[in-house]
Structure 1
Amino acid sequence: MGSKMIIITIITVFMLFVGFNTSAYALTEEESVAIQSLLEDARRISGTPGMSVSIQSRDDTYFFSSGYANSEEGILTNENTIWELASVSKAFTALGILLLEEQGFLSMDDSVVEYLPWFSLRYQGQPVDMQSVTLNHFLHHTTGLINRYHTQHIPEGNTPDMLQKTVEMLIDAEVVFPPGERYEYGTVNYDVLGLVIETVSGQSFEDFMEEQVFRPLGLYETYANRGKVQATGQLAQGYRSAFFMTLPYDAPEFRGNTPAGYLFSSSQDIARWMGIQLGIVEDIPEIFQGLIAKSHEGNRSVAAVDELYYGAGWVVNADQTFIQHAGGNPTFATNIFLFPEEQLGISLLSNSASTNIDMLYNIKDILDGNISQSYQMSLMQISDIALSSATIALTLLAILFFFLGVRRKKQNRKLPLTKKRLILIAFWLVTTIFIGILCLILPTIFGASWRSFLVWQTYSYLTALIALSLLSASITWFVYCYRYKCS
């Protein structure tokens, strides 16, 4: 072989070696700047104090942070800041119960009453045959327990028995459809699975997850117990927005909802978690490797919703090229995207529910070369702005009509009420009463009380209704006073 051929061969081998060991998503400086800029814009527009993004590719991990874990104390976010995971928690709980199945302690085809014999449901007023309701129904959200009607069963509290109390609140709950008929998301399904884990393992759910799942997987900044994570000093403060302001808010504790929405983790650990899901991180116990793949299998026993199936704590498309789960708590918003074929994972953790978690699509676009991206406000933020603006406008109008009526009454003489005037007064009086009743019953439309409704939704829903009621009452007063005519 001539010297030229030797040189060409060496160069070719070198290029092949470099090619096979370079991530398809090795970020350029331009892409890094674009992602950081997107985060800064998102934080500014949404009012979110802090957010953190992690990107896990085949060979590299990237972290981007913006803002504050606690703005009052000036604590900046970083990859070790710990956040509430909200419903991103479900994939961890699902892995925990699949682990118990693999160890032979249960089967997902078992009836739930084998482990919780006192548990019962009703459909159209009649008892459900609980022998036919399996753990798989809870895993895949096919029980008929759904968010629209059953989140009110989650009681407040932080005592160790709250998981038991939460599931007991579901006894004889009226399901929306017969178990197994279809898939509709209901967070409380995973609280039931959490209690099954406690029953089978003989440990608290929190201890089981930390000892049997998190630590074996090398997740040392992931917790199930709020007290433990608070002791680290790394937990981000939660915030909520209302009336164009973002303020710290200590939401009620729902410890009984821990399996479904109150695990805690950092971007550092979530990056590793994504690597485990993608098969990039291999230094984990062998037993978990098959379980991870199993958790990505969408439930095909029911029809897809928007072309997506629910696996074990993950939403997946038909060919499993896209695996995702988002979460939202009163003061935190989270999201994870996984692209197995590309060996790419992207996560977002933030300490405000107003963050638009769909910005992960923008980050994916940047990674695909579409550098120019803009942040779009979330529906919650848009609603709050609209309702806050309406509150101010309606209140000002109410004040105006009230004083116009007072002025007319003081300065003019009273005439007898005409039939037309009486009808008009009656109309506005009935309108005022109707709006007042609506103020009282609106949360029940969502299966909640005003207290629980305002924990999860913006205060401006209530203030806008009150302002509308005041305006209607002021118009009634103004119409009544219009009978006063100039002398």
Structure 2
Amino acid sequence: MDESVDALMRDYQGEVPGASVLVIHDGKPVVSRSYGYADLEARVAATPQTNYRLASVSKQFTAAAVLLLAEDGRLGLDDPVRKWLPTLPASADAVTLKHLLTHTSGLVDYEDVMAPDATVQVHDADVLHLLESQDRTYFSPGSEYRYSNSAYALLALIVEKASGQRYATFLRERIFAPLGMDDTVAYEQGVSTVANRAYGYSLADGEWQRTDQSSTSAVLGDGGIYSSIADLAKWDAALYDDRLLSDASRKLAFTPWTKTDDPTVEYGYGWRITGETVWHSGETIGFRNVIVRYPQRGLTVVVLTNRDDPEPYRKALQIAALFLP
């Protein structure tokens, strides 16, 4: 199987930005392999301990944080968002936390209202400030689906208000540390560090250029977590039992609450749902990632990469096919 996976990942081998691949079957890692470089300039090879910026794969952790606080009785999924963030304009009156979780809020995309030439990084609190000036929504909350990074940035702020802790601290204390995900971090420049860090790259004029950060890279709730396949194996295991989330909370996360703009995909809380799979991809400058779970078959495939292209979802499905009857 290793040779078959290697053949599928041949474009990531050699002196190029790399990738790490994890396959878990019946609770056991059956493939844990890395390719290429985590840091081209320093010629640091990728390993199973390499930490990649997860981009939107981070959303499942934000959703889990909200579900943990709901279990604690600190918030309700039907709470109006303005209960927690009252400076949002009146157009957000009907938006609930559930709408935020399922991308059905209709809130304006913060990327669309940033200055087009912005170079200073924005943070989750800045997303709130940007939306305070937008007294409109794309549609009536709950009536449609539109993928929303704004929603998950706001959820991170709500986690902070409901818990009384910084978002990164809450994740570390309530999710990462209990699961032994010791090197996973919601990264904040000048506050935390990323062990075994992968740097992102883009191909330009036939050369790999480091493109590790953009003006939105510091927003945590929608995509700011770094992790490795070694740590994500522990996360995957926790999604089968109640060591972190209750059965009821996990059922909520994996319930297809809404159809999406892809007829083959529905959305839960931080998870896409397609047939028998629950999955999520992540795309940001310099990184493309995916986790695909087949919970009824006990199979999970994770592909993390530190390059802009190609998207690894189809590659993950090809890898999964090697293990499916």
Considering the TM-score relative to the shorter chain, is it more than 0.5?
yes
After superposition, where does 1:103-114 map in structure 2 within 5 Å? 103-114=72-83
CA separation in 1, counterparts of 2:144 and 2:280? 19
Instruction: Identify if the C-alpha distance between structure 1 residues 95 and 194 changes in structure 2 by more than 3 Å, giving closer, same or farther.
Output: same
Q: Is the 8 A contact 1:194 1:205 kept in 2?
A: yes
- Report whether the alignment pairs 1:136 with 2:98: yes
Partner deviation per Cα, 1:119-161 (whole Å, 9 max, x = no partner): 12xxxxxx52x33211111110001136xx54234676568xx
Instruction: Identify if the C-alpha distance between structure 1 residues 216 and 181 changes in structure 2 by more than 3 Å, giving closer, same or farther.
Output: same
Q: How far 1:214 moved relative to its partner?
A: 1.4
CA separation in 2, counterparts of 1:334 and 1:156? 25
2:25 counterpart (57, 60, 72): 57
Corresponding residue of 1:383: none
- Report whether the alignment pairs 1:70 with 2:39: yes
Corresponding residue of 2:272: 315
CA separation in 2, counterparts of 1:368 and 1:229? 43
Q: How far 1:345 moved relative to its partner?
A: 0.4
CA separation in 1, counterparts of 2:188 and 2:249? 27
Q: Is the 8 A contact 2:183 2:194 kept in 1?
A: no
Q: Is the 8 A contact 2:110 2:130 kept in 1?
A: no
For structure 2, the residue ranges without an aligned partner over 5 or more in a row are none
CA separation in 1, counterparts of 2:153 and 2:113? 11
Q: Normalized per residue, which structure has more helix?
A: 1
Q: Is the 8 A contact 2:278 2:292 kept in 1?
A: yes
2:255 counterpart (280, 293, 297): 297
Corresponding residue of 1:269: 231
Q: How far 1:43 moved relative to its partner?
A: 4.8
CA separation in 1, counterparts of 2:279 and 2:7? 24
CA separation in 2, counterparts of 1:94 and 1:311? 10
TM-score relative to the length of structure 2? 0.90
Partner deviation per Cα, 1:442-465 (whole Å, 9 max, x = no partner): xxxxxxxxxxxxxxxxxxxxxxxx
Q: Is the 8 A contact 2:12 2:35 kept in 1?
A: no
CA separation in 2, counterparts of 1:240 and 1:98? 36
What amino acid does structure 2 have at the position aligned with 1:208? F
2:290 counterpart (314, 331, 335): 335
CA separation in 1, counterparts of 2:195 and 2:218? 23
What amino acid does structure 2 have at the position aligned with 1:263? I
Corresponding residue of 1:97: 66
Corresponding residue of 1:440: none
Corresponding residue of 1:463: none
Q: How far 1:365 moved relative to its partner?
A: 2.2
Q: How far 1:261 moved relative to its partner?
A: 0.8
Q: Is the 8 A contact 1:48 1:351 kept in 2?
A: no
What amino acid does structure 1 have at the position aligned with 2:256? G
Moved more, 339-348 or 149-158: 149-158
Q: Which has the higher contact order (CA 8 A, sep 6+)?
A: 2
Partner deviation per Cα, 1:288-339 (whole Å, 9 max, x = no partner): 4442232111114x6774132211100113x6x2101001010111001010
CA separation in 2, counterparts of 1:243 and 1:180? 44
Q: Is the 8 A contact 1:111 1:135 kept in 2?
A: yes
Moved more, 83-92 or 183-192: 183-192
The RMSD of aligned alpha carbons is 2.4
2:186 counterpart (224, 227, 231): 224
1:361 counterpart (313, 317, 324): 317
CA separation in 1, counterparts of 2:177 and 2:171? 8
SS of match in other structure, 2:75: coil
CA separation in 1, counterparts of 2:225 and 2:47? 19
Moved more, 266-275 or 218-227: 218-227
Q: How far 1:203 moved relative to its partner?
A: 1.2
TM-score relative to the length of structure 1? 0.61
Q: Is the 8 A contact 2:23 2:301 kept in 1?
A: yes
CA separation in 2, counterparts of 1:82 and 1:342? 27
Q: How far 1:228 moved relative to its partner?
A: 8.0
- Report whether the alignment pairs 1:195 with 2:153: no
- Report whether the alignment pairs 1:34 with 2:25: no
CA separation in 2, counterparts of 1:226 and 1:235? 13
Corresponding residue of 2:112: 152
CA separation in 1, counterparts of 2:281 and 2:52? 14
What amino acid does structure 2 have at the position aligned with 1:116? L
Identity %: 28
1:349 counterpart (279, 300, 304): 304
- Report whether the alignment pairs 1:183 with 2:183: no
Instruction: Identify if the C-alpha distance between structure 1 residues 368 and 92 changes in structure 2 by more than 3 Å, giving closer, same or farther.
Output: same
SS of match in other structure, 1:260: coil
What amino acid does structure 1 have at the position aligned with 2:311? N
Q: Normalized per residue, which structure has more strand?
A: 2
Q: May I ask how many residue pairs the two structures share in their alignment?
A: 319
Larger Rg: 1
CA separation in 2, counterparts of 1:233 and 1:108? 34
CA separation in 1, counterparts of 2:66 and 2:52? 23
1:206 counterpart (168, 184, 193): 168
Corresponding residue of 1:325: 280
SS of match in other structure, 1:178: coil
CA separation in 1, counterparts of 2:101 and 2:166? 19
Instruction: Identify if the C-alpha distance between structure 1 residues 217 and 253 changes in structure 2 by more than 3 Å, giving closer, same or farther.
Output: farther
- Report whether the alignment pairs 1:168 with 2:125: no
SS of match in other structure, 1:258: coil
What amino acid does structure 1 have at the position aligned with 2:243? I
Instruction: Identify if the C-alpha distance between structure 1 residues 273 and 96 changes in structure 2 by more than 3 Å, giving closer, same or farther.
Output: same
After superposition, where does 1:472-483 map in structure 2 within 5 Å? none
